[in-house]
């Protein structure tokens, strides 16, 4: 079984991001980057499926040449090879989905695994758009994935408001990983050394011949207002009175 997994290069979510003074974006100087956490979960799930059923895990990413670092991280976990579509221009989910659809057409994987969203844009759109472009089934927010013995179907438990939803999809399909799907493994030292020799194919965005016109354009960025400091109250009755009479939340 061939599994294509997407990996996005994002700023470290544990680092406070600052907006540029002119509002055109965020300050990236000196910022650390890492694999999008939801994509890391998708990589782990792909590796677990491969360990049970055999096959190949291919990691795909779109971004600057430096994104090979994040692909190498997935290769160190156990993926076989990587594909990097190089571009420095900002992309919206629609363009990303069209690029990935092109890669899927070329690779012909049996399963496409993605993180449910990236922690930088939080759009949660690319997986759904990709499934529509490919004309295949989709199962988003997966907390459990089970493949049939013949590899023709997948049963996916999805996290939804108020509980869980279990769906069955024919393969190939697009499955997006939620937080509780698994706990990603740490790359071992031998895995890190082997990853240095694993192939990463680099192609330019322009060479794919896809429509790169964005439907979503970011015009300006601004930081949220600074929260005001709280106040101290002497006792619980005073707190209740302020919540009722001033904040009007009870």
Domain assignment of residue 224, yes or no = yes
Let me know: does 95 contact 211? Beta carbons within 8 Å.
yes
Contacts of 146 (CB under 8 A, 6+ apart): 154, 155, 156
Domain assignment of residue 133, yes or no = yes
pLDDT over 90, % of the chain? 72
Domain count, the chain: 1
Put residue 236 in one of left, alpha, beta given phi > 0 → left and psi -120 to 50 → alpha.
alpha
Cα–Cα distance between 176 and 39 in angstroms, integer? 9
- Predicted local distance difference test score (pLDDT) of residue 230: 79
Lowest mean per-residue pLDDT among 36-50, 178-192, 224-238: 224-238
Cα–Cα distance between 165 and 139 in angstroms, integer? 10
Domain assignment of residue 153, yes or no = yes
Task: Give per-residue pLDDT as tens, 103-146.
Answer: 999 999 999 999 999 998 889 999 999 999 999 999 999 999 99
- Predicted local distance difference test score (pLDDT) of residue 98: 96
Q: How confident is the model at residue 26 (pLDDT cuts 50, 70, 90)?
A: confident
What residues pair up with 26 in beta bridges, in sequence order?
Answer: 19
pTM to 2 decimals? 0.86
User: What average pLDDT score do residues 52-69 get?
Assistant: 95
Domain CATH for 142: 3.40.50.620
Cα–Cα distance between 217 and 35 in angstroms, integer? 24
- Predicted local distance difference test score (pLDDT) of residue 43: 97
- Predicted local distance difference test score (pLDDT) of residue 224: 83
Task: Give per-residue pLDDT as tens, 156-211.
Answer: 999 888 889 999 999 999 999 999 999 999 999 999 999 999 999 999 999 999 99
Domain assignment of residue 250, yes or no = no
Domain extent for 6: 2-245
Q: How confident is the model at residue 60 (pLDDT cuts 50, 70, 90)?
A: very high
């Amino acid at each position: 079984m061939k599994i294509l997994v997407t990996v996005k290069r994002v700023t470290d979510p544990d680092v406070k991001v600052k907006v540029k003074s002119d509002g055109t974006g965020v300050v990236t100087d000196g910022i650390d980057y890492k694999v999008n956490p939801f994509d890391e979960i998708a990589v782990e799930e792909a590796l677990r499926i491969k360990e049970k059923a055999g096959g190949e895990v291919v990691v795909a990413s779109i971004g600057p040449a430096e994104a090979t670092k994040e692909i190498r991280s997935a290769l160190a976990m156990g993926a076989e090879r990587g594909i990097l579509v190089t571009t420095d221009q900002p992309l919206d989910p629609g363009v990303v989905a069209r690029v990935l659809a092109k890669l899927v057409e070329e690779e012909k994987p049996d399963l496409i695994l993605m993180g449910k969203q990236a922690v930088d844009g939080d759009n949660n759109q690319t997986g759904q758009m990709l499934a529509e472009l490919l004309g295949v089934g989709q199962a988003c927010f997966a907390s459990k994935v089970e493949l049939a013995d013949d590899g023709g179907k997948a049963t996916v438990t999805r996290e939804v408001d108020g509980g869980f939803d279990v769906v069955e999809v024919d393969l190939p399909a697009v499955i997006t990983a939620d937080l509780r799907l698994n706990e990603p493994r740490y790359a071992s030292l031998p895995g890190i050394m082997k990853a240095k020799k694993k192939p990463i194919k680099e192609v330019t965005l322009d060479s794919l011949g896809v429509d790169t016109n964005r439907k979503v354009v970011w015009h300006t960025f601004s930081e949220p207002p600074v929260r005001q400091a709280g106040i101290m109250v002497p006792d619980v009755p005073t707190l209740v009175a302020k919540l009722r009479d001033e904040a009007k939340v009870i």
